Structure 1
Amino acid sequence: MFGLIGHLTSLDHAQLVARDLGYEEYADQGLEFWCMAPPQIVDDITVTSATGQKIQGKYVESCFLPEMLATKRFKAATRKIINAMVHAQKHGIDITALGGFSSIIFENFNLSEIRQIRNIQLEVERFTTGNTHTAYIICRQVEEASHKFGIDLSQATVAICGATGDIGSAVCRWLDARTDVKDLILVARNQERLRDLQAQLGRGKIASIEAALPEADIVIWVASMAKGMEIDPNSLKRPCILIDGGYPKNMSTTIQLPDIHIINGGIVEHCLDIDWKIMKIVNMSTPARQLFACFAESMLLEFEGWHTNFSWGRNQISIAKMEQIGQASVKHGFKPLIA
């Protein structure tokens, strides 16, 4: 059985969803209440592969909210993720993906060092960040979107915002090794990590986001922020492709210009309907078929019987593992969302 650990985009969103799911005691509560709320299994899932194989899963709502990071309630945020992992393990879930900020919190706060939670020994092999599949899907979105919208990668400049993160660095390595993209612009907060990445790649220009946007034909946003990306559309090249790999996503609502093409980054579409209700809650346009690539990774690991922490640790994603999970993704009927 596979599992998904997720969270909602804001306090307002959480209150609305709580009412829809019948958790009236959560629906009118403020942030302090949500800091104390325990994880809940709120959905049972059935997925059918393109091969005909069926698997079962569960969705674990962590009750984490991005406002916890924005208001520096870091202990509450980390407690949410660890408790959700314990909850998944106690329910016998073999492989669980950490969705959204779950994996970012896990990495940034070194939660891998925590193995004993009360009387539970946390078995890390039961968990994956899902970042390998996410990175693979974003790279495929770059390749397919550039073809669709007439941008020649061999003449294109691609800016990666969040280039030193787990997903961002993997995307950089793939684009460098598996495409003929002309130039890379590396954007991140930590300058030392940027210089290390630049040295590993043997190329790439280091720049601020303000300097990168006017030069980029394609912008990939995979930086971790408690709010969505906010940019001035007048600073962008025309035409331009923006791949919004953040969560929550907001570019498609804040930028609406005919020659700027917005792609919801890290989203896949399955070839068959999935029996669940959770994607309606996170506002997917086709909730029976569309989902986050990180969630799909746990499904793929269950389909293949790879009950292991396939994606784990910062900057450990190899091109070989991206190809491996990519082959499984195609086999079981997932494809990158290009809208």
Structure 2
Amino acid sequence: MFGLIGHLTSLEHAQSVADALGYPEYANQGLDFWCSAPPQIVDHFHVTSVTGQTIEGKYVESCFLPEMLMNRRIKAAIRKILNAMALAQKNSINITALGGFSSIIFEEFNLKDNKQVRNVSLEFDRFTTGNTHTAYVICRQVEQGSAKLGIDLSKATIAVCGATGDIGSGVCRWLDRNTNTQELLLIARNQERLKRLQDELGRGKIMGLEEALPEADVIVWVASMPKGVEINPETLKKPCLIIDGGYPKNLDTKIKHSDVHILKGGIVEHSLDIDWKIMEIVSMDIPSRQMFACFAEAILLEFEQWHTNFSWGRNQITVTKMEQIGTASVKHGFQPLLNW
């Protein structure tokens, strides 16, 4: 059995879908209540591969909300993720994906040092961030989306915003090795990490956000949007492909132009329907088939019986592992979302 640990996008979102989750008593509660709410298993479903294999999974709602980080409720956020992991393990789930902010919180606050959660000793090989599959899917969206728009990657400039993050660095490695991209622009806040990535790749131009975006034919956005930053679509190349790999995915509400095409990055579509309700809650266009690629990684690991933390640790994503999970993804009937 596989598991998915997720969370809702905001307090308002959580209140609005509490009924659908089966907890109407949560609907009118404020942030203090959500800080104390325990994780819950709110969905149980089956996924069938195009090979004919069927597996079962459970969705764990962590009850974490991004406002907890904004309002200095860090201890509550940490507790949410650890408790959700403990709940998944207690339910004998073989491999569980940490979706959304769950993996970020785990890494940023070194939760590997908090192995004991009450009477549960966490076995970290039961968990994956799902970031390897996400990086693979984003790269395939770059390749396939560019071809759809007539952008020749061998003559193109690609800007990666969030290049030093776990997903961003994996994307850079793939683009460097597999696409023959003419120019790679590296954007991130930490200049020391940027220089290390540049040295590793042996290429790439370190640039600031405002100067880099107008030069890019393709923009891969795998970072949080800095406060106060707005992107003027008139300054971007035409056509321009933007892969929105953030969470929540909202660049399409901020950038509107007929020649700027925005893909929801890191989203896959399965070939067969899935009997779950969770993707309706996060407003997927086709909720019975579409999902976050990080969640799909747990599904693929269960299909293949790779019960291990396939994606784990910061900046450990290799092109070889991306190709490995990518082969499994195609085998079981997943494809990158290409609708804009």
TM-score of the superposed pair, with normalisation by structure 2:
0.97
1:216 is matched by which residue type in structure 2? Answer: A
Cα distance, 1:24 vs structure 2:
1.7
Alignment correspondent of 2:271: 271
Q: 1:241 aligns to what SS in structure 2?
A: strand
Q: Give the conservation status (yes or no) of the 8 Å contact 1:228–1:250.
A: no
Q: 1:56 aligns to what SS in structure 2?
A: strand
Q: Give the conservation status (yes or no) of the 8 Å contact 2:22–2:42.
A: no
- State whether structure 2 residue 59 is matched by structure 1 residue 62: no
Cα distance, 1:228 vs structure 2:
12
Distance 2:229 2:322 in 1: 26
Alignment of 1:149-298 (within 5 A): 149-224=149-224, 230-298=230-298
Alignment correspondent of 1:10: 10
Alignment of 1:300-311 (within 5 A): 300-311=300-311
Distance 2:76 2:225 in 1: 17
Q: 1:171-194 deviations in whole A, cap 9, x for unaligned?
A: 000000111111111111111000
Q: Give the conservation status (yes or no) of the 8 Å contact 2:2–2:56.
A: yes
Long gaps (5+) in structure 1: none
Q: 1:273 to 1:230 in 2, by over 3 A?
A: farther
Q: 1:132 to 1:228 in 2, by over 3 A?
A: farther
Q: Give the conservation status (yes or no) of the 8 Å contact 1:228–1:249.
A: no
Matched-pair identity in %: 71
Moved over 3 A (4+): 224-230
Q: 1:262-317 deviations in whole A, cap 9, x for unaligned?
A: 10000000000011010000000000000000000000000000000000000111
Query: Comparing 65-74 with 166-175, which one deviates more in the overlay?
Result: 65-74
Distance 2:193 2:327 in 1: 30
Distance 1:43 1:21 in 2: 8
Q: 1:256 aligns to what SS in structure 2?
A: coil
Alignment correspondent of 2:43: 43
Alignment correspondent of 2:84: 84
Q: 1:215-251 deviations in whole A, cap 9, x for unaligned?
A: 1111101114699985222332211001000000111
Query: Comparing 142-151 with 252-261, which one deviates more in the overlay?
Result: 252-261
Q: 1:5 aligns to what SS in structure 2?
A: strand
Q: 2:144 aligns to what SS in structure 1?
A: helix
Q: 1:301 to 1:142 in 2, by over 3 A?
A: same
Cα distance, 1:255 vs structure 2:
2.1
Q: 1:51 aligns to what SS in structure 2?
A: coil
Q: 1:132 to 1:253 in 2, by over 3 A?
A: same
Q: 1:309 aligns to what SS in structure 2?
A: coil
Q: Give the conservation status (yes or no) of the 8 Å contact 1:125–1:307.
A: yes
Alignment correspondent of 1:131: 131
- Tell me how many residue pairs correspond in the alignment: 339
Q: 1:209 to 1:50 in 2, by over 3 A?
A: same
Distance 1:226 1:28 in 2: 30
Q: 1:104 to 1:226 in 2, by over 3 A?
A: farther
Long gaps (5+) in structure 2: none
Q: Give the conservation status (yes or no) of the 8 Å contact 1:275–1:288.
A: yes
Q: 1:301 to 1:226 in 2, by over 3 A?
A: farther
Distance 1:235 1:80 in 2: 41
Distance 1:106 1:232 in 2: 34
Alignment correspondent of 1:28: 28
Query: Comparing 172-181 with 70-79, which one deviates more in the overlay?
Result: 70-79
Q: 1:160-212 deviations in whole A, cap 9, x for unaligned?
A: 01100100000000000111111111111111000100000011111111111
Distance 1:29 1:234 in 2: 42
Q: Give the conservation status (yes or no) of the 8 Å contact 1:69–1:226.
A: no
Distance 1:226 1:308 in 2: 34
- State whether structure 2 residue 333 is matched by structure 1 residue 333: yes
Distance 1:195 1:277 in 2: 44
Distance 2:178 2:113 in 1: 34
Distance 1:311 1:27 in 2: 34
- Give RMSD over aligned pairs: 1.4
Q: 2:306 aligns to what SS in structure 1?
A: coil
TM-score of the superposed pair, with normalisation by structure 1:
0.98
Q: 1:242 aligns to what SS in structure 2?
A: strand
Q: Give the conservation status (yes or no) of the 8 Å contact 2:2–2:58.
A: yes
